[in-house]
Every structure is written in structure tokens, then in C-alpha cells.
Amino acid sequence: IFRFDGKDEDERPHKRTKDVASIVNHYNARPEVGVIQRNDSPIIGLKNFNNWVKSVLITQFAHPILAKSPNAGPYPNSSGMRPGMQIRPGGNRGAGKVLDLGCGKGGDLTKWAKAKIREYVGVDIAAVSVDQARDRYNSLRGPKFAASFGAADCYAKPLNLSLPPSMVQSILPPNGAEFDVVTMQFCMHYAFESEEKARFMLHNVSKWLRTGGVFVGTIPNAALLLEQLDALPEDATDLSFGNSVYKIRFENRKDRPVYGDRYFFYLKDAVDDVPEYVVHWDHFVQLASEYSLYPTYVKSFHEVFEENSDHAEFGPLLERMKVVDGNGESQMDEDQWEAANIYIAFAFEKH
């Protein structure tokens, strides 16, 4: 499986911008609480819902071994597969390679285990989180996919995943090292601090993704954020909005650069006033096309819910993942439900 090169000069903390340092410190400092304590979180309904959305996204779009035929349509049909998708010889499970950029503490490992992938590589800038992800992988029960973890800034330079020479022949496809899926959950927006970082991020996604492979992710919904900023009173000096669960604070009202459009984000029991950057969607799509990545799907989290809550597989999953209780009652209050819709889910395909 893939292994990383040793640490390199660029990863040294003093080379990081102040924003990156506070992002890394924040995530490294957040404790891994385990399942029992996690259930006590005041926003457990929202956390479970976010996990459900990721499960839907992974199952529908990132099923790693579904190969795309040249005339595949863009959207999934009722069985969750895009028209024209082909099932590889050997069945429809068990052959995928997934690269998780910004993998955090490995919160999606179980989801990938359920998708029966073959190989997983998790990378995150927060070294403490990476260790926790590795521990979580080691404690997974049942048959496991092969996995490798490493700490690296995925937005600072070309990502170098290397293989021990003896394994190169057996694993690499003839055209180089490639993954079927690259996943970036709740983390891609940190790359939009600058054009250089956004480009390194897209370079890394595209470089490691095979043609026909899928890039999936979740990011804040720029249109919704800016709509709420616009709705603040003309003379407001505090440019913040939110509710009891989340707060977003902008620093200015008018200047909307495509990179470095910064705000500070607070999410109860999760994120404490961390700098983030608006991902202006149309600009992102245009930029991604320079890296041969084309969108096939983008929906707000509310839309993902509306379209999948009655689905034969994802409906019952809502209860299993404790988004709703046995009576179908939501475990989120109004404020959590509103906070849930800050995010959008997307899928791109590499041509």
C-alpha cells in the first residue's frame, strides 16, 4: 500500500501562515472522545446527520469500484448508480482505492469499510488527528481494507505518496499510481486562503485520481453565507450571524475576493472561531476544470435529506445512525437543522 515520504522542510510549523497554525492547533487540540462520550454532545443529532449525508454521498457517488463508461450520464438513477456505470469483473464490491485528504481522526473509516474498499490512504495536516485515525483503524473489527496514514499539508505542495519498490509492480496500474476516489470532507475550504493553495489542492486531487474517478466533498455553501451577510442591517458593525449552534463572523461586507475571503467559524462542541474561506462555487468549478475535474452533483444538505430520506437504503439508515429516533422524530432541534444547511455536498469526475 502507499507510504509517505519522510517529513520535509515545508511541513515545519514555523513555515505556516498564522491562519494555518491556528487551524492545525485547533484540530490537534480537540480530544478524541470515543463513542460513549460523543453521544453526550449537545449537537449529537447534527453530528449524526452530517455522518448520514457523508454516507449517502459515499454510497451514491464514490462507490470506488464503479467504473465509468464514456457515455455515462451525470446523475444517479434510482439504484444510486449513474446511467452507464459499469460493474467491474469480480462483483460490485471490494476493489476500490480511496484517498482521504483532510481525513481528521478517521471519522469516515467505518463508512469506507461498509463500502468494502480495498485500500485507503488518509492524510491530514494535524499530526495528532492522524495518529488517532490510525488508532481507530487498528481497532476496527471485521475484515479490513489495507490502510496507510500520514501527516502532511495537502495544500502547500505536490503531495508525494510513495510505494516501497517491491510493491510497485503488483499494485500500480500501467498508467501510474491512481485512486478511484478522492474524498475531502469538511476541509477543502481551508485551501482557499490563496490561489496557490487552491491550485496545489486541485493538483493533488487530480494527480492521484484515475480518469473516470470521482472526487467527493463537503464545503460551506458560499451563496447562503453571503446571503446572510447581506441581510445584516446596513449600519451593523458586528458582521456576524448564526444561532445557538453556530456563528459566522465576516471581517468586511463588500470586499469579496475569490481567494482569502475569510470569515471566522464557531460550531458548538466542534469548532472554536477558526478562520475559514468562502469557496465561491462558480469560480471553483472553473478552476477545477483546469485540472480535468467536472461537477456531476451539488446539493445543499437539506436537499440531500429531502431527496434521500424515503430512499429504500438511506431512509432506514437515518434511524440506524440516530438522526431520527424509532418514531421517526428528528434528533436535531431547529437551530441544529439550520446549521446543517451551511454545507453543500459535491461530486466531480475526472475526464
Binding residues for ligand SAM, rule: CB under 6 A, are: 23, 27, 102-104, 107-108, 124-126, 129, 153-155, 185-187, 190
**Which residues does 99 contact at the CB level (< 8 Å), separation at least 6?**
120, 121, 123, 161, 179, 181, 182, 183, 208, 209
Q: Looking at beta carbons only, is 102 or 213 nearer to ligand SAM?
A: 102
Q: Looking at beta carbons only, is 106 or 212 nearer to ligand SAM?
A: 106
Q: What sign for the dihedral angle of Cα 335, 257, 204, 159?
A: negative
**10 Å Cβ neighbour count for 223?**
13
Alpha-carbon distance values, 10 to 125, 156, 190, 201 (Å): 12, 8, 17, 15
Tell me how far, at minimum, the Cβ of 54 lies from ligand SAM, in Å: 7
Tell me how far, at minimum, the Cβ of 111 lies from ligand SAM, in Å: 10
**Cell 449537545 belongs to which residue?**
42
Specify the 3-state DSSP secondary structure of 309: coil
Q: What letter represents residue 288's amino acid?
A: A
Which residue is nearest to ligand SAM, using beta carbons?
Answer: 104
Tell me how far, at minimum, the Cβ of 27 lies from ligand SAM, in Å: 4
Q: Looking at beta carbons only, is 133 or 332 nearer to ligand SAM?
A: 133
Could you report how far apart the first and last alpha carbons of the chain are, in Å? Answer: 25
Q: Looking at beta carbons only, is 109 or 293 nearer to ligand SAM?
A: 109
Q: Looking at beta carbons only, is 153 or 180 nearer to ligand SAM?
A: 153
Tell me how far, at minimum, the Cβ of 315 lies from ligand SAM, in Å: 23
**Cell 432506514 belongs to which residue?**
316
Q: What letter represents residue 329's amino acid?
A: E
Q: Which DSSP symbol is given to 118?
A: S
**Cell 447534527 belongs to which residue?**
46
Q: Looking at beta carbons only, is 159 or 317 nearer to ligand SAM?
A: 159
Tell me how far, at minimum, the Cβ of 13 lies from ligand SAM, in Å: 13
Tell me how far, at minimum, the Cβ of 211 lies from ligand SAM, in Å: 25
Q: Looking at beta carbons only, is 185 or 308 nearer to ligand SAM?
A: 185
The CA distance from 279 to 264, in Å, is 14
Q: Which DSSP symbol is given to 9?
A: G
The CA distance from 294 to 299, in Å, is 15
Tell me how far, at minimum, the Cβ of 196 lies from ligand SAM, in Å: 12
